[in-house]
Amino acid sequence: MQHNPAKKKLATGKPISVIAPGYSSAGLVELLGWMGFDGIFIDCEHGPAGWEEVENMVRAAELVDATAIVRVQSNDPSTITRALDRGAGGVQVPHINTRAQAEAAVRAAKFAPLGHRGYAGGRSALGVKGNFTNHANEETMVVAMLEEVEALKNLDDILKVEHIDAFFIAPGDLSQSMGYPGHLDHPDVQAAVHDAVRRTRDAGRAPGVLTTNAASARRYLDLGALLIYVSLASLLQPGARDFLSEFK
């Protein structure tokens, strides 16, 4: 991991675009990077990628100067370390509900003195000049996923945790937690997401959100969101629908 362009962009207060390919394909990662996305989201919680595929997708992201962000299966030190040792620019840690859980994620992602990431380095240390641990601490990106009512109740405390680059307010599990399973667009769910985005920005931190198209991206950018996530499938569907309509 030589540098982390998405982390640097976020640090200056500029929004970043993060796309989820949804498939274990280094070639697709390379294509999306050439299109101009800042980050590539590699899903190891719900997605199919194995560790060797993750490593190849990370390599492809590096080729096109995009940051590979791996969503790990859980807030587990060995899993976080394994993702980072593959060379990932960042980890996205699910189900952060308390300040203690957020602090644990940071400790797992950072070497001493900031944390206790297990030292191996792997391919992430290749080509790094100077002290690898200092370099990794500076470049590694940590994203905390806030997915339940408990997380929003504890948001003010969670936002005090240092060395977290973005706080992703996820409407899917949040909708379940609020009693509206599957209804991500329910007014109460959206109100909770919007409130969390505002509170995160007011605390001087970077909020992340799920979007599905350019219009929703613009709405959240205007609200102050800085990490804008979209899936490739949601971008492809409208174009495919328009194209196929000509055959009916």
Q: Which residues are catalytically annotated?
A: 46
Place of tokens 């609200």: 223
Alpha helical stretches, state H, 128-245:
132-139, 149-153, 155-158, 171-177, 187-202, 214-223, 232-245
Cβ pair 226, 13 in contact under 8 A: yes
Taking Cα atoms as reference points, which of 173, 174, 224 lies closest to residue 199?
A: 224
Query: What is the total residue count of the chain?
Result: 248
Element (H, E) at 69: strand 67-71
- Distance between CA atoms of residues 223 and 197, nearest Å: 7
